[in-house]
Amino acid sequence: MSDRKIINDPVFGFINIPKGLLYDIVCHPLLQRLTRIKQLGLSSAVYPGAQHTRFQHSLGAFHLMSETIKHLTAKGNFIFDSEAEAVQAAILLHDIGHGPFSHVLENTLAGGVSHEEISLMLMERMNKDMKGQLNLAIQIFKDEYPKKFLHQLVSGQLDMDRLDYLRRDSFYTGVSEGNIGSARIIKMLDVKDDHLVVESKGIYSIENFLMSRRLMYWQVYLHKTSVACEKMMISTLTRAKELALRGVELFASPALRFFLYHPIDKKEFYKNPDCLENFIQLDDNDIWTALKVWSNHSDVVLSTLSRGMINRRLFKVEVASSPITRPRKEEILSRISKQLNISKKEANYFLSTSSIENNMYKKEDDSIEIIYKDGSTRDIAKASDMLNISLLSRKVKKYYICYLRSENDGH
């Protein structure tokens, strides 16, 4: 029997998983649930190739973590085997609390409980199953372990989560701008005063990484059609929940039914163990199956929205530099209520406005320390000759308006 398992990953090639704790985590039902949740949620409406799962991402981040530990120890940074295993466990588990279309779910069914909070609840639960073997991993995840740089590898400016998702999302969407040099960045990492730093010869890789991250945000994560799709899913689930709480009978899997027919807020989620039990039974399939059935529901709002999601008849999106005016909003709502023969109030389900801000360089997000041969360090903003930080720090604000297309509007 070999002492490790090998998985072939299209992005990084062969990934080795040592037998023991790490392999047990990979096989655990809570991690296997992530094979049924897409990493990019609804982005496949824009990029049909984006079918990869949160499980694949977790394995990729784990692989990068293993590589990083190898490079850091080769540079004389002392990491115990137990610490190495714990930080690898922490990165494998970092996304375990994601639900289907995670932010959509947080805003509609799961009562404002964030996926980070659920991740921690699930780690604690797995730790019980595993008789305390995850104690150290949880400490690192919560940044309660003395070696702070280990937490930075799980959640920081250059964490393995980001290094994997940029490469992976770029690979599966075909948006080549996101293709960062993760191997080179990892080779350039070092630790100084318990803090991650990057060798000065890696500065161009870091500039590329920061630019790629911003491009991927506008081109993929905040793509206007993805935004419209997400707004539509939020409207659909919000309507379903409204009908359910009124006592209307809706088709739903037992787990989805639990979230539709119970008003759940944060307090309830923490207090009532049924919330977590049902949450871990939810995945993308529950939602899509319900939408297929709801497409024929007698409620016009629910069926129109569900059909739109299933058949990709998405909201029309306009992006503007200033907020939508009241008269324009009224005009759209009147048209929709006539078109579907519904009340003005119900027409609101088919109109959504939001604004999205993104500045190219955020001090708290992008401050990366560069270390020079003489041991001195400088922030990337000061070290870089290419990144004109004052220019990149300017905020870009876009206003989105998404609404139901009129009858004669094409796709």
3-state secondary structure of 282: coil
The predicted model gives 182-209 an average pLDDT of 95
Task: Give the pLDDT score at 259.
Answer: 96
CATH of 224-357, one of 1.20.1250.30, 3.40.980.10, 1.10.10.60, 2.60.40.10: 1.20.1250.30
What pLDDT does 228 receive?
93
3-class SS letters over 11-38: CCEEEEEECCHHHHHHHCHHHHHHHHCE
pLDDT of residue 105: 84
Q: What value does the mean pLDDT take over residues 128-156? A: 97
**60-64, 307-311, 356-360: which range is least confident on average?**
356-360
Residue 313 above 80 pLDDT?
yes
Q: How far apart are CA 122 and CA 93, in angstroms?
A: 9
Identity (one letter) of the amino acid at 92?
A: L
Cβ neighbours of residue 155 under 8 Å, at least 6 residues apart?
A: 94, 141, 143, 161
- Which secondary structure element, helix H or strand E, spans residue 273, and what is its range? helix 273-279
Mean pLDDT throughout 38-48? 96
Comma-separated ranges of CATH 1.10.3210.10 domains in the chain: 4-222+360-394
- pLDDT (mean) for 277-301: 97
Average pLDDT over residues 231-236: 96
Phi-psi region of 10 (alpha: psi -120 to 50; beta: other; left: phi over 0): alpha
Across the range 275-299, mean pLDDT stands at 97
**Per-residue pLDDT for 411 more than 60?**
no
Q: Give yes or no for residue 388 having a pLDDT over 80.
A: no
Q: Which helix (H) or strand (E) holds 356?
A: strand 351-359
**Mean pLDDT throughout 236-257?**
97
pLDDT of residue 34: 98
pLDDT band at 360 (very low <50, low <70, confident <90, very high): low
pLDDT at residue 408 in the model: 73
Q: Place 237 in a pLDDT band, splitting at 50, 70 and 90.
A: very high
pLDDT for 390 equals 59
Tens digit of pLDDT for each residue in 80-117? 999 999 999 999 999 999 999 978 888 888 878 999 99
Tally of CA atoms within 13 A in the half-sphere of 128 that contains its CB: 5
Total-model pTM: 0.95
Whether 293 shows a pLDDT value over 60: the answer reads yes
Q: What is the pLDDT of residue 392?
A: 63
φ and ψ of 378, to 5 deg: -140, 150
Calculate mean pLDDT across residues 219-238: 94
Cβ distance 207 to 370 under 8 Å?
Answer: no
> If DSSP codes are grouped into helix, strand and coil, which group holds residue 49?
coil
In this prediction, residues 299-321 reach a mean pLDDT of 96
Cα(368)–Cα(159) distance, rounded to whole angstroms?
11
Task: Round to whole Å and give the CA distance between 290 and 304.
Answer: 14
- What per-residue confidence (pLDDT) applies to 177? 83
CATH 1.20.1250.30-classified regions of the chain: 224-357
Q: What would the mean pLDDT of 243-261 be, rounded to a whole number? A: 97
Mean pLDDT, rounded, for 303-324: 94
d(CA 169, CA 221): 10
The domain 4-222+360-394 is placed in CATH, from the list 1.10.3210.10, 1.10.150.120, 3.30.70.3190, 3.40.250.10, at: 1.10.3210.10
Q: Look up residue 336 and give its amino acid.
A: I
pLDDT interval class at 179 (50, 70, 90): confident
Burial class of residue 259 in the structure, from the number of CB atoms within 10 Å of its CB (0-12 exposed, 13-18 middle, 19+ buried): buried
3-state secondary structure of 393: coil
Average confidence score pLDDT of the chain = 93
